[in-house]
Structure 1
Amino acid sequence: MQFEFRKATPEDADQIWDILQQAIERRRLDGSQQWQNGYPNPDTVKTDIEKNHGFVLVSENEIAVYGALILNDEPAYDDIKGKWLSDGDFVVVHRVAVNEKFHGKGLVKVFFEKIEDFAKENQIYSIKVDTNFDNGAMLHILEKLGYTYCGEVFLSGGVRKAFEKLLH
């Protein structure tokens, strides 16, 4: 499969929201508390796109994975119960969601590999991400991709597990 990794556009918003709704439902069916309180929502997607934070992995003209990439800006990360691996520039990854049509095909891994390329292109060698304690799928992916558990942060009304990966 060929993939295009690019910034999301306003034309992508409806498809991104559909994918996020699928992910919200998947979290619910998995018994996770993550994303069960009205966040993310269509306004979240609109803001991500307006601020150039939204990114998509496209396969055959269809969005396969969505996520928000934010450079050096996650206030909740300033107050970690634990310790980050680094103090320099970083890319924050939020709101990763995979299109049901592409579920189970390893595309979240591809998306994270593209994020690493994006970070390096911007001379950034740290990626930070958090997830709910009960999001087994994301916890598994982060472990598989070599992310280090750094502690807990308080975000979106709850305690979240925080991870960092240093790039070389």
Structure 2
Amino acid sequence: MIRKANPADIKEIMKIIGETIVEMHSYGNTQWDESYPQKKDFWEDIQKGELYVSERDGTLVGFSCINKVEPAEYTDLPWSIQETAMIIHRMAVAPAWRKSGIGTELMKFADEYALKNKVHYLKTDTYSINTKMSALFVKCGYKWVGEMSFRGKEKPFYCFEKLLNISE
């Protein structure tokens, strides 16, 4: 089940962030660290009504922020169309729940959420080292657009887009 996040979810979200950072760093992925994402990022997402969580039997197992806020770094990329898009940010699945369809469920939810809000275009990005997230985007129908420098990281971020059929 996916629902809007609330302040009571912050503790579990930060636990998942901590576990995810340890796991990412174990294979050299420094996309997330102690400076990003922080608790304040999720508080802001919740206050704006933009953070969604996935639950299994009452346990928070994943989350994603979905909004229309494009990073400035997206400006010079060769996007297919120039119109309002939903952007997927700060998505994670608890390591113990990986490979159980939660990531795919969150991505499908983003599609449905976009269409419900009369938007048929989605964008997202991930650190180039994050091959697992890149593979999930491709599996969910996203196309690679290009790469950008982001957050002062050494390696580029890969950017992806998806155009939804209005009949979906």
TM-score (norm 1): 0.90
What does 1:11-30 align with in structure 2 at a 5 Å threshold?
Answer: 11-30=8-27
Counterpart in the other structure of 2:75: 78
Counterpart in the other structure of 1:126: 121
The answer on 1:55 being equivalent to 2:25 is: no
- 1:72 Cα deviation from its structure 2 partner: 4.5
The answer on 1:142 being equivalent to 2:127 is: no
Check 1:36–1:72 CA distance in 2 against 1; reply closer, same or farther (3 A cut): closer
Matching residue's letter, 1:21: G
Matching residue's letter, 2:72: P
Aligned-pair identity in percent equals 26
- Counterpart-to-counterpart distance in 2, 1:13 and 1:111: 18
Stretches of structure 1 that go unaligned for 5 or more consecutive residues are none
Counterpart in the other structure of 1:157: 152
Matching residue's letter, 2:56: S
Instruction: Specify the SS of the correspondent of 1:110.
Output: helix
- 1:37 Cα deviation from its structure 2 partner: 5.1
The answer on 1:36 being equivalent to 2:30 is: no
Check 1:116–1:139 CA distance in 2 against 1; reply closer, same or farther (3 A cut): same
Q: 1:67 aligns with which of 45, 64, 67?
A: 64
Stretches of structure 2 that go unaligned for 5 or more consecutive residues are none
The answer on 1:102 being equivalent to 2:97 is: yes
- Post-superposition CA distance 1:102-152 (Å, at most 9, x none): 122121011101111111100111110000010011011111112111111
1:72, 1:89 within 8 Å by CA — same for their partners in 2? Answer: no
Counterpart in the other structure of 1:167: 164
- Post-superposition CA distance 1:82-108 (Å, at most 9, x none): x11221111111111101231221210
1:130, 1:160 within 8 Å by CA — same for their partners in 2? Answer: yes
- Counterpart-to-counterpart distance in 1, 2:39 and 2:75: 27
Counterpart in the other structure of 1:117: 112
- 1:74 Cα deviation from its structure 2 partner: 2.8
- Counterpart-to-counterpart distance in 1, 2:58 and 2:149: 37
1:68, 1:96 within 8 Å by CA — same for their partners in 2? Answer: yes
- Counterpart-to-counterpart distance in 2, 1:8 and 1:88: 27
1:65, 1:97 within 8 Å by CA — same for their partners in 2? Answer: yes
